[in-house]
Amino acid sequence: MTLLAVDDDETQIELIRSVIDALDYPPVEYLSATNVKEALSLVARSVIDLVLTDLHLPDGSGFDVLTGVKALSPAIAVVVMTAFADTREAVSLLKGGADDYLIKPTTRDGIERIVLRVNERMALQHEALLPPDEGPAASPAVAGIIYRSESMAAVLSMASRAANSSATVLLSGESGTGKELVARFIHERSGRKGAFVAVSISALPESLAESELFGHLKGSFTGANADRLGRFEEAEGGTIFLDEIGEISPLLQVKLLRTIQFGQIERVGENRTRNLDVRIIAATNRNLARMVEENAFRRDLYFRLNVIEISLPPLRERKEDIRHLVDHFIARFSERNRKTVKGITREALDLLHKRPFPGNIRELENAIERAVVLCRGEFIRIADLPPGPIEESPKKEAESFAAKDYHSAMRDFESELIHAALDRSAGNQSAAARELGISERHLRSCLHRLYNPNPPPTLD
């Protein structure tokens, strides 16, 4: 495992180092940083398992380290060291996402206890498949929704309450966040006996959209050779899911408004109305409120659709779900492709945690399917994953070599050279040292010097 100690007190840094060096088990790679910026830069570039951070730092606090680390990868354990045995402070740290806290002055037993506990957790999470857990994510039968995060728990709680009503629901969120799955969840919980009919508005040709939704009579237009039921009639007694509702044409907006208001439709070419009992759930990845202000969407229709709005969080805001989604997709695609992939390495999982996933769950699903197909062993590795960007550290700032003195420029060049090698080796210092043609001890010495640049003061 890899441990990062963050403290501007050199004595504390060396104390932790001595405890780690004296450990017989587990083997621990030790890194250190003196401030928030250095710590988050290291976490972004390396595979870290445990962060021990002081509460008070020169450029921020332990809370800044905590929030920055968890934003990059929730799987990293963060323990905050504080000099005050204040119960309220400890509670606030734990509520803020800290895995534990240590009271200064820290003791050998306290540090060893933290390291052993985190190592035990790693043994379960990173070395093999996760065992079945209690709770909602253990059962993928909840409309296929896999989650552990509080944000998704809140979404499903609201969806469950909305299911028992007949109110129109508007699901908003980025593409790939699972809006159709939530719509199916609402339908299944509603007890409605009819079918669940999903329609993608953006996939309907404008000339045929009205006929697709509301049906038509024979002879009502060229090619209408027989009467046809529309999607609304197919959903009689059930639920119709209108995806990408922001793409609906002005003409269909008027007809949809009447359908919502009166529960009636008219087939194309027909003069009489038909009464229907259909629950409407709409979804969009666009800002409908802004479209209303721009006169691109009817205000009255917007308010009819938006009786209950449920906003789905993007995957980058629910990273604690990534591990469980990955396991679910590995099991699914291993069976589908007749492979024996059992899990994912800690380096590959760490990389997934640090990716922004603009395509959300759909992008993650595609990445794991590709990895399962290409995987040659029992565990998915970094080489099996598709290339992609990683999120930058929240505190990272771009710097140039311009207007720097010789020593600063050379130090920055050395830092970029070393970190580029570490990036290519996914944080493996042995591999990075071999690539650079230096010993691993030399590499660690360089890292220590780069992140502890100020020599101890001397007396003249």
For 127-160, how does the pLDDT look when each residue is reduced to its tens digit (9 = 90+)? 443 333 433 333 333 557 888 888 898 899 899 9
Per-residue pLDDT at 456: 45
- pTM of the predicted model as reported, rounded to 2 decimal places: 0.69
- Helix 346-353 and helix 360-374: axis angle, to 10°? 160
Q: CA dihedral in degrees (238, 261, 288, 182; nearest 10)?
A: -20
Q: What is the pLDDT of residue 101?
A: 87
Number of H helices, E strands in the chain: 18, 16
* For residues 5-10, average pLDDT: 93
CATH of domain 398-460: 1.10.10
Helix axes 440-451, 406-424, angle to 10 degrees: 130
pLDDT in tens, 231-262: 999 999 999 999 999 999 998 999 999 899 98
Q: Cα(62)–Cα(100) distance, rounded to whole angstroms?
A: 12
CB 5 within 8 A of CB 16: yes
Higher pLDDT, 421 or 324: 324
pLDDT band at residue 425 under the 50/70/90 scheme: low
Residue 138: its pLDDT value, please? 36
What is the CATH code of the structural domain delimited by 1-125?
A: 3.40.50.2300
Instruction: Give the C-alpha distances (Å, rounded to integers) separating 423 from 20, 200, 419.
Output: 25, 41, 6
Given this model, what pLDDT does residue 446 score?
77
Q: How confident is the model at residue 459 (pLDDT cuts 50, 70, 90)?
A: very low
Average pLDDT over residues 166-174: 94
Q: Return the pLDDT at 268.
A: 83
pLDDT tens by residue, 107-116: 899 899 999 8
What is d(CA 384, CA 140) in angstroms, rounded to the nearest whole number? Answer: 25
Q: How far apart are the first and last CA of the chain?
A: 42
Strands (E), 221-368: 239-243, 264-265, 274-275, 279-284, 308-311, 343-344
pLDDT score of 104: 85
Average pLDDT of the chain to the nearest whole number: 83
Q: Are the beta carbons of 285 and 244 closer than 8 angstroms?
A: yes
Distance (Å, rounded) from C-alpha 153 to C-alpha 438? 49
Mean pLDDT of 32-43: 93
Cα separation values, 348 from 60, 126, 250, 266, 309, Å:
30, 10, 47, 54, 36
65-89 pLDDT tens trace: 999 999 888 889 999 998 766 666 6
User: How many angstroms from the chain centroid is the CA of residue 46?
Assistant: 19
For the chain, give the percent of residues with pLDDT over 70: 84
**Burial of 65 per CB tally in 10 Å (0-12, 13-18, 19+):** buried
Question: Which is nearest to 189 in space by CA: 210, 206, 169?
Answer: 169
- Looking at residue 359, what is its pLDDT? 92
What are the φ/ψ torsions at residue 60 (nearest 5 degrees)? 165, -145
* Domain 320-384 top-level CATH class: mainly alpha
CATH architecture of 150-312: 3-Layer(aba) Sandwich (3.40)
Lowest-confidence region among 182-191, 212-221, 353-362, 411-420: 411-420
More confident residue, 403 or 272: 272
- Read off the tokens for 52: 């021990």
Residue 409 main-chain phi, psi, to 5 deg: -65, -45
> What pLDDT was estimated at residue 403?
44
Please give the average per-residue pLDDT across 80-103, as a whole number: 78
> Which tens digits make up the pLDDT trace of 366-400?
999 999 999 998 999 999 998 877 665 544 443 44
Q: What's the rounded Cα separation, in Å, for the pair 412 and 414?
A: 5
3-state helix, strand, coil in the chain (%, to 5): 50, 15, 40
pLDDT of residue 452: 58
- Side chain identity at 2, as an amino acid letter? T
- Identical fold between 150-312 and 320-384: no
Query: What DSSP designation does 391 have?
Result: P
